[in-house]
Structure 1
Amino acid sequence: MSQSVDLQPRSLWRDRNFLTMWGGQALSQFGEQISLLGVPVLAVVLLHSSAFEVGVLNASGLAAFLLIGLPAGAWIDRMRKRHVMIAADVVRAVALASVPILWSLGMLHIWQLYAVAFVIGVATVFFDVSYQSLTPSLVLPEQIAEANGKLEATAQVAHLTGPAIAGWLIGVFSAPFAMITTAGTYAASFVALSFTRDREQLRPAHEHGRLLHEIGEGLRWVFGSPALRRIVGTTGASNLFNTISVTILPLFLLRELGMTPQAMGLLLSLGAVGGLLGAIATPHLTRWVGEGPAIPLSALAFCVVGVLLPVAAMVPQIAFPLLVVAEFVMSFFVLVYNITQVTFRQRITPPRLLGRMNASIRFVVWGVMPIASLAAGALATWLGIVPTMWIGALGQLASAVFVVTGPFWAMRSLPTGTEAPAPDAT
């Protein structure tokens, strides 16, 4: 009697290595959400920072993507990505733990928050590029989209619960001591990642080229591909203008609309429900409209809905529910967009270039964010908070043009590495 062979890949629910990496990423995301609310609230409410100082604070946390984003990708391609993530968690935990210590000693000033934000930003560059590049070495090629969906769904659970819990922690313990919880989540992420075992194969040292040559190789791969260029165009422009809005958002909500930190946290948590549902719905939507068309359709949707943010200032009596709807719909379609375009990037890129590909893209799409943060502080000081929100919303609306006019409409299924056309010659 013949013996049947099960050719189906093992479910990710039973894959110990993926689950431990997933757990580490989830804990890091949860901690990040607490600090994303806690640090600006600390600056605005306790240190009485100006709009420009809030802009500089946000820029400090994002500057690393512009300053070291490109060499980080080349370095990461030479190292074990899981080990990089573990080291990044340690650095972030120590940096955040310094905030309540300095506050309790009466020594915390805005420039120290700048320094803490910058150190955390550097560590986050290495963590984020590594985890996006590590996934293909943990799962089979046909499971990459599912793995990305699970990672993004968990991130959205953090987005959902993190701000509300952060608002509660700030209300009970004050913003500085809420940072202790964040440091604890990074320490727990360190433990989870320590138990992960990956199949990553490092390149032999003799294959390493000069750093500038390897950086250039990653840039040529990204910008030599017409499809990747359009993804970078939309994502970069969207991040540029969305960061203008997000930088001013604490001032817009806390001062312009008169919300409490707890209400702000609740708003962001309710909006994040859309992101969670978007992560769950992405496989169904891509089967319905096609994997390629899902990229421009989702980009167009979240860019259009972003206009509702400044509209809320025109109808303050319904601002809270209007902003909940806006955040919900934006989060839903941002997740559809992110899961689909990240899967596309991972599928067509050779493993040896994954770190440099992700870092090259992050250099552009995140590198614009510290510039946007400084611009937001300057614009809010010059024009006011609400006009600055309008600039962010209308600029983001225009950013969808790159992918909307791209080749994705004809891609019912996203290509794999063997099917993808080679980048244009440079």
Structure 2
Amino acid sequence: MTTSLWRNRDFMVLWSGRTLSEVGDAVSLLAIPLLAVTVLDATAVEVGILSATRMVAYLFLSLPAGVWVDRMRKRRVMVVCHLVRAGLVATVAVGAWAGWVTMAHLWIVALLSSVCTVLYETAHQSFLPAVVPGGQLLEANGKLATTYAVSRIAGYSVGGALASALGVARTVGVDALAYLVNAASLLFIRRAEDPPAAAGPRDFRRELAAGLSFVFRHPIMPRLVAASASLNLFSQMIFALAVLYLVRDLRLDEHTVGVVLALTTLGGIGGGLLSARLARLVGSARIIWIAPLGLGWTVLLVPAARPGWGPVAYTVGMAGLGALFAIYNAAAISYRQGVCPPELLGRMTASIRWVIFGVMPVGALAGGLLGSWLGVRPTLWIAAVGVWASGLWLYFSPLRRRRDVPDAASDAAPSPAARERVPVDMAGEATGGGRRG
């Protein structure tokens, strides 16, 4: 009989520490841009660079991170990453308190933190199976995903209140403390981790090429990647300018900014809870393009907002974006898993993450540059239209003729050698002994 996750001590320790660090992350995501805007009087370009450097490691580190982490002790990687991030954030808190913090300092901290984030996330996903039985991984990942959304609400709310009451310098220090506590909590996990596999001869470039080849030779996958990349690109333009827009255009104080950002995350929670039901109702493949086209228009409320009633419009628009991402991601990931051979799943996932996460710093930087050149509000109009139009990549594709994602369990899996050579038809199905929808 499988023990409930609530009685799995190691998972509860891992989950509790992760929750605390997520809350701290949300505090920093609010407090550091507030520091840049309200204390350093940052321009739109400087804020865009700050947001871009926070994600730039996805562009150059996503592909090799998996190979490196597989050759290390996962928990050790996670502890070291948290300790380094705690130290980096602490320098911002001390610098802000002492009066010597600069935008260059914030950029360097964001860049180094992004490296730690990529390594930590890769190690965390690989470490979870060591503390959770295989039959409970779905439940465990569901709890972690819900924690992420709820932590954003708590972090933004607490961050806004602390910034208003204590100032941004002390508020940034809260994140450093959260990282230290999480690093310490990982040491209390009792389950012994399997030692890393011995590094044997392997052709790293050839393995990566196999994943990239599957993605970009598939009839649907390139359009799915293009849609996901477009969503990330244009949404990051909005996120990069969010604090600047709320403070200078909508004229909100620090506490209200925190409350507004917290409320926008409710869309992601609602979308996550409804995603499975909506997929069953309209089709698990059809919902992939319906989500951006059906919900993307709500983002137009963001640039339409004005002082006074603007916070309500902004909240509704960004909550719609959160629901869009939750519903779209659940369906898109299921589609990728349904059509990809099991032995290529890791490489396929790394290849797609390299593209769709790699555009995020580009979007943030583009938002800052366009915000400085055209103005913040016109840039937000461009980004909002781009979010909605992302769904057109899939609407004008063979995916529109499908209702549901292929079921990976509907047929016996072919041999690994045969699966590498399986052709695919124009509906994204494997043929010649592969999968049928």
Q: Which TM-score bucket, shorter chain as reference?
A: 0.7 to 0.9
How many Å apart are 1:348 and its aligned residue? 6.9
1:235 alignment partner in structure 2: 228
**Deviation of 1:35 (Å):** 0.7
**How many angstroms apart in 2 are the aligned matches of 1:191 and 1:353?**
35
Map of 2:433 onto structure 1: none
Q: Following the alignment from structure 1 to structure 2, what is the Cα–Cα distance between the partners of residues 17 and 294? A: 37
Tell me the equivalent position of 1:3.
Answer: none
* Alignment of 1:393 onto 2:387: no
- More displaced stretch, 285-294 vs 20-29: 285-294
Report the 3-state secondary structure (helix = DSSP H, G, I; strand = E; otherwise coil) of the residue aligned with 2:305.
helix
Alpha carbons 2:296, 2:324 under 8 Å: kept: no
Unaligned runs of 5+ in 1: 1-5
Question: Is the 2:152–2:262 contact (alpha carbons within 8 Å) kept by the matching residues of 1?
Answer: yes
Q: What letter corresponds to residue 238 of structure 2 in structure 1?
A: S
Q: 2-side partners of 1:79 and 1:86: how far apart?
A: 12
> C-alpha displacement at 1:351, in angstroms?
7.8
Per the alignment, residue 354 of structure 2 pairs with: 363
Equivalent residue pairs, number: 416
Judged with a 3 Å threshold, the aligned counterparts in structure 2 of structure 1 residues 42 and 424 are, in CA distance, closer, same or farther, namely: farther
**TM-aligned CA deviation for residue 10 of structure 1:** 4.7
Question: Structure 1 CA distance, aligned partners of 2:192 and 2:294?
Answer: 37
Deviation at 1:412, TM superposition (A): 5.5
Q: 2:179 aligns with which of 177, 186, 189?
A: 186
Letter in structure 2 aligned against 1:239: N
User: Are 1:46 and 2:30 counterparts?
Assistant: no
How far 1:154 sits from its partner (Å)?
0.6
Match of 2:199 in 1: 205
Q: Is the 8 A contact 2:334 2:405 kept in 1?
A: no
**RMSD between aligned residues:** 3.1
**Equivalent runs, 1:329-340 vs 2, <5 Å:** 329-340=320-331
Q: Structure 1 residues 349, 236: closer, same or farther in 2, change over 3 A?
A: same
Counterpart in the other structure of 2:429: none
State how far apart, in whole Å, the 2-side matches of 1:273 and 1:246 are. 16
**Within 2, Cα distance between the matches of 1:14 and 1:416?**
31
Contact 1:141/1:347 (<8 A) preserved:
no
Which residue number in structure 2 is paired with residue 131 of structure 1?
Answer: 124
Q: How has the CA–CA distance of structure 1 residues 385 and 375 changed in structure 2, closer, same or farther, with 3 Å as cutoff?
A: same
Amino acid at match of 2:6: W
Query: Is the Cα contact below 8 Å between 2:272 and 2:323 reproduced in 1?
Result: yes
Alignment correspondent of 2:262: 269
Q: Which residue of 169, 173, 176 maps to 2:169? A: 176
Q: 1:146 aligns with which of 133, 139, 143?
A: 139
What's the offset of the Cα at 1:343? Answer: 5.3
Alignment of 1:100 onto 2:89: no
Structure 2: how far apart are the matches of 1:134 and 1:352?
Answer: 19
| 1:20 paired to 2:44 | no
Deviation at 1:397, TM superposition (A): 1.2
Larger relative contact order (C-alpha < 8 A, sep ≥ 6)?
A: 1
CA shift digits 1:68-101 (9 cap, x unpaired): 2222233234334443333222221111011122
Q: Compared with structure 1, are the counterparts of its residues 23 and 281 closer, same or farther at alpha carbon in structure 2 (3 Å cutoff)? A: farther
Deviates more, 1:332-341 or 1:194-203: 194-203
Q: Give the Cα separation in 1 of the matches to 2:339 and 2:160.
A: 41
Letter in 2 for 1:67: F
Percent identical pairs in the alignment equals: 34
Residue 301 of structure 2, aligned match among 308, 324, 333: 308
Task: Give the TM-score normalised by the residue count of structure 1.
Answer: 0.86
**Are the counterparts in 1 of residues 292 and 388 from structure 2 also a CA contact under 8 Å?**
no
Q: Which moved more, 1:230-239 or 1:36-45?
A: 230-239
- CA offsets 1:14-50 (integer angstroms, 9 cap, x no match): 4444433333332222111111111111000001111
What amino acid maps onto 2:359 in structure 1?
A: V
Q: Distance in 1 between matches of 2:420 and 2:28?
A: 39
